[in-house]
Amino acid sequence: MQNLIDTFRKIGQLKPENEQALLSSIEKKTYPPRTLLQDQEKISNKIYFIEKGIARTYYYKDGKDITHWIASENNFVGSMTSFFMQVPSNKLVETIDECILWEFEFKKLQTLFKTNQDLAHAGRLFAIYGMSLLEQRFDNLHFNTAKERYQILMNNNPEIIQRVPLGMIASYLGITQETLSRIRNNTF
């Protein structure tokens, strides 16, 4: 829980007096590996902060499983567009390994934001932070080579390389598993 509070203090400029209000609106849960947290075509009513474990957001294209996002400890995961816009999701969210998650429910957050301007401000800063991460991911996919994308992942999130199946990593990087194997063989 302390990592969640520290993250909110850092990104959302959360004041200590608002910590309890935030904590009272979220719930801690443990999920086994391969638990589906969000299904396609459903409105996402929850996003998650990962205390322990790894989860991913993915979709299907032409029958293929495409990993859109991988999140590990001290990061958020969920169908963000569906959550914030309250529209059906085009993505699925699942745990990769056992996860301890802090669940943020849409209605509870909206109520909290209406009654606490500081928390509403923190929520906006988090939304901006999330958009920045997505733009970085978009830029990495479109402006970097496959080898550069792998190097960025190794530098920024080495735990993903060690704990996530190679097929998911390759999909996340926008490359085939064979290309990922060639990159790894040339890197080490």
Per-residue pLDDT tens for 8-48? 778 777 778 888 888 888 999 999 999 999 999 999 999 99
Return the H-helix or E-strand segment holding 180: helix 177-187
Exposed (0-12), middle (13-18) or buried (19+): which is 41, by Cβ within 10 Å? Answer: exposed
Give the residue from 117, 175, 125, 127 showing the smallest Cα distance to 151.
Answer: 175
pLDDT in tens, 76-105: 999 999 999 999 999 999 999 999 999 999
Provide the edge-to-edge strand list for the sheet that holds 76-77. Answer: 26-31, 99-105, 46-52, 76-77
DSSP state of 21: H
Ranges of each domain in the chain: 2-182
Quick check: pTM over 0.85? yes
Q: Candidates 2.60.120.10, 3.40.640.10, 3.40.50.10330, 2.40.50.140; correct CATH number of 2-182?
A: 2.60.120.10
pLDDT score recorded for residue 188: 47
Calpha distance 90→96 (Å, rounded): 19
- Torsion sign (Cα): 128, 10, 103, 161: positive
Q: Yes or no: say if 172 and 146 are a contact pair by the CB < 8 Å rule.
A: no
